[in-house]
Amino acid sequence: MQTKETQWVHTMSPRIHIIGLGSVGVIVANALASLRQRPDLTLMFHRRLSCEGQLSLTVNGIYNNVRSGFDVEEFHDGHWKRLPGQSGRRRPSSYDDPHVSPIDTLIVAVKANYTRSVLNTVKHRLSRNSTILFLQNGMGILEEVDESVFPDPEQRPHYMIGINTNGTSRTGQLSAHHTSLGEMPFGMAPRLSSPELSHGQWHQDPRLIRSARPMIDALSNSPNLNVRLVSVEDVLHLQLKKLAINAVLNPLTALLECKIGMLYSSQQPWIRRLIELMLEEISAVLRALPLPFQTSLDLEAEFAAKQLTSMVEAFARRLPQHSSSMMQDVGKGSETEIAYLNGFLIRLGMQMGINCPVNNYIMQAVLEKQESQRYGGDKQRASTHQQRKAQPL
């Protein structure tokens, strides 16, 4: 009888699965589908699609592109099912039943707060030979996934992280607008809580090479996104910088319902002061961070409050017309990623004895606004729900 382990070896093929087909998932899948040596691509939807004929993904904006020829899976009634009549490409026999067919590489582009629930639907198809690339804002997600999705370190897939600064927004169920060209460095995921998982000669690990190489090659060659493979140290550095930017700009634009550039308007000097106060706390947390590996990264210099303040302002001035997805989420009464931005920094600070009252206040304000929007003015229900949500932070 074949063990799960031997099954993996026999079924290895350069197929990339993508879950979370919002604006980021669409531009990434579209870019991969544009490669001359295109890998097999499976798009995974967490619900039934209303789609007739062959599914295509459209990107407009700084370039225009329509791609089709994907395999498509939908999750309903507790099972992954294939949408017939899609790619038309020959599939390995192991792919006959999508609910059980193994996944070598999975790109996750759902919002941070849905990561656990989406991975719970596919965890039986992932093994220690698989690689997951997380394309999300925020931090603290991997620790949650370790704890509640893959608690056994021996069976855990490899994790990679991509830090995406391409600006995108959704224009339809299967279409996205690429509003600004950024970049998408990616690499092995650093683990703040587990130094042993962060270090080592990961690029020499045969299991990882076998599972991740096709995805690494495909992404590195894909057009329009500025993707590049970077070291684990660089991933951590870039992740922390992006965390500081998002922890300031996202909640403030959501609370003030404005574009990023408005935060620096000369008529509102108090907002600048608020940003400085938030960044002083963020700087204290980031400078005190126990690093999981030897690195030349100078936390004191890189994350000094002044440095962070200039970095956030430079980012905002580059994209003054941008609004944040947190603003849109709050507007719709949807759950935001705040627990993985300011919430993560507050929790980290608490572990090191550093208080972040300004960030905490801002986070509570976002949670309150999000809940009151969701319950449409029912203040009593919103406040009870918000208290429940805020508790673990």
Ligand X SMILES: NC(=O)c1ccc[n+]([C@@H]2O[C@H](COP(=O)([O-])OP(=O)(O)OC[C@H]3O[C@@H](n4cnc5c(N)ncnc54)[C@H](OP(=O)(O)O)[C@@H]3O)[C@@H](O)[C@H]2O)c1
Residues that bind ligand X (CB under 6 A): 19-25, 46-47, 109-112, 114, 117-118, 135-137, 164, 167-168, 170, 325, 337
Residue nearest to ligand X (CB): 22
Regarding beta strands 71-76 and 131-134, do their DSSP bridges make them parallel or antiparallel, or are they unpaired? unpaired
Nearer to ligand X, 114 or 375 (CB): 114
Residues whose CB is less than 8 angstroms from the CB of residue 93 and which lie 6 or more positions away in sequence, other chains included? none
In whole angstroms, the minimum distance from the beta carbon of 307 to ligand X comes to: 22
The Cα–Cα gap between 313 and 316 comes to 5
In whole angstroms, the minimum distance from the beta carbon of 121 to ligand X comes to: 7
Nearer to ligand X, 116 or 389 (CB): 116
Angle between helices 305-318 and 232-256 (to 10 degrees): 70
In whole angstroms, the minimum distance from the beta carbon of 182 to ligand X comes to: 8
In whole angstroms, the minimum distance from the beta carbon of 380 to ligand X comes to: 28
In whole angstroms, the minimum distance from the beta carbon of 1 to ligand X comes to: 33
Phi, psi of 354, deg, nearest 5 = -110, 120
The Cα–Cα gap between 318 and 142 comes to 30
| Placement of tokens 């999508």 in the chain | 98
Query: Tokens for 174?
Result: 């299967």
Nearer to ligand X, 305 or 323 (CB): 323
- Tell me how many degrees the CA angle 380-386-391 measures, rounded to the nearest 5: 135
Query: Tokens for 22?
Result: 């919002």
Nearer to ligand X, 128 or 177 (CB): 177
Residues whose CB is less than 8 angstroms from the CB of residue 73 and which lie 6 or more positions away in sequence, other chains included? 42, 43, 44, 45, 80, 81, 82, 83, 98
Nearer to ligand X, 129 or 164 (CB): 164
In whole angstroms, the minimum distance from the beta carbon of 337 to ligand X comes to: 6
In whole angstroms, the minimum distance from the beta carbon of 109 to ligand X comes to: 5
Alpha helices in the chain (DSSP H): 4-11, 23-33, 115-122, 141-148, 195-198, 206-221, 232-256, 269-287, 299-302, 305-318, 325-332, 342-351, 357-374, 379-390
Nearer to ligand X, 120 or 351 (CB): 120
Nearer to ligand X, 245 or 263 (CB): 245
- Tell me how many degrees the CA angle 187-190-195 measures, rounded to the nearest 5: 140
